[in-house]
């Protein structure tokens, strides 16, 4: 049986994930879970340090490209790799050239961030009026960032996401709107672990189901991630 450990350390505005043990298909879920959990916190960067890792199966390295693709969609956080031996570095570059690899964790920590950290956030009560407040925050952000064309669709999306959180989670709601290089990113965090599900077929039906069809129609991508004590539902709208 293969074993792998992942420990997370916050260093400044970045999260360092030290992986120790054997990386193979069997241990990939542990790595993915640790990295996804870090993305939920929206740090300046996530660094996967493989200095203590032995790559048993080359195909297991694809987990880093998969997480990097998710990070690009939301929350726009760069994934950096550090501590690889020469062979592992060659495999990463050959298969996933967009990944940034560094000789050591210190080098990765010192690297300039590629993320645009412009964002707004608000903490909302689980009340019906919170959807209106979320719309106001989002429209104001779009105007401030000179994206008036996204104000209307973004306000509809955030309204549906917050309304769903109020209806189903009934907990405090953390709203964040981020400005990325390619996308406007909206994230709603609540205290329910149940992920939202888009019903098949026509959007005709319950209001909550119709809302998710609206989110699906207006956004480039959307989804959810488990978070400490609940989940994050995120959506991205393309900048024109």
pLDDT tens string 55-75: 999 999 999 999 999 998 999
Pair 74, 179 in one domain: no
End position of a domain, from candidates 60, 85, 110: 110
Ranges under pLDDT 50 in the chain: 206-208
Pair 97, 9 in one domain: yes
End position of a domain, from candidates 67, 83, 110: 110
How many domains are there within the chain? 2
Pair 93, 177 in one domain: no
Q: What are the beta bridge partners of residue 178?
A: 119, 185
Q: How many CB atoms are closer than 10 A to CB 127?
A: 12
Pair 16, 86 in one domain: yes
Q: How far apart are CA 83 and CA 60, in angstroms?
A: 16
The CATH number linked to 78 is 3.30.750.24
Full residue range of the structural domain in which residue 173 is found: 119-238
End position of a domain, from candidates 110, 132, 161: 110
pLDDT number for residue 208: 47
pLDDT in tens, 160-186: 999 999 999 999 999 999 998 899 999
pTM score, whole prediction: 0.86
Q: Is 238 helix (H, G, I), strand (E, B) or coil?
A: strand
The CATH number linked to 210 is 3.30.565.10
């Amino acid at each position: 049986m293969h074993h792998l450990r992942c420990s997370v350390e916050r260093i400044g505005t970045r999260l360092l994930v030290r992986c120790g043990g054997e990386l193979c298909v069997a241990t990939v879920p542990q790595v993915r879970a640790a990295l996804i959990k870090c993305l939920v916190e929206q740090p300046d960067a996530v660094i996967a340090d493989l200095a203590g890792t032995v790559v048993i199966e080359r195909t297991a390295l694809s987990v880093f490209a998969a997480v990097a693709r998710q990070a690009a969609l939301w929350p726009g956080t760069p994934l950096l790799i550090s501590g690889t031996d020469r062979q592992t570095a060659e495999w990463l570059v050959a298969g996933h050239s967009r990944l940034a690899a560094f000789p050591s964790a210190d080098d990765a920590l010192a690297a300039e961030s590629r993320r645009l950290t412009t964002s707004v956030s608000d903490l909302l009560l689980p009340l019906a009026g919170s959807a209106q407040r979320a719309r106001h925050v989002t429209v104001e952000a779009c105007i401030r960032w000179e994206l008036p064309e996204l104000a209307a669709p973004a306000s509809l999306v955030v309204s549906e996401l917050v309304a769903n959180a109020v209806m189903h989670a009934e907990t405090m709601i953390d709203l964040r709107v981020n400005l990325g290089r390619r996308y406007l990113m909206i994230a709603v965090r609540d205290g329910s672990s149940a992920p939202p599900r888009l019903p098949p077929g026509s959007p005709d039906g319950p209001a909550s189901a119709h809302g998710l069809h609206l989110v699906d129609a207006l956004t480039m991508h959307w989804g959810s991630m488990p978070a400490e004590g609940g989940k994050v539902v995120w959506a991205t709208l393309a900048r024109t």
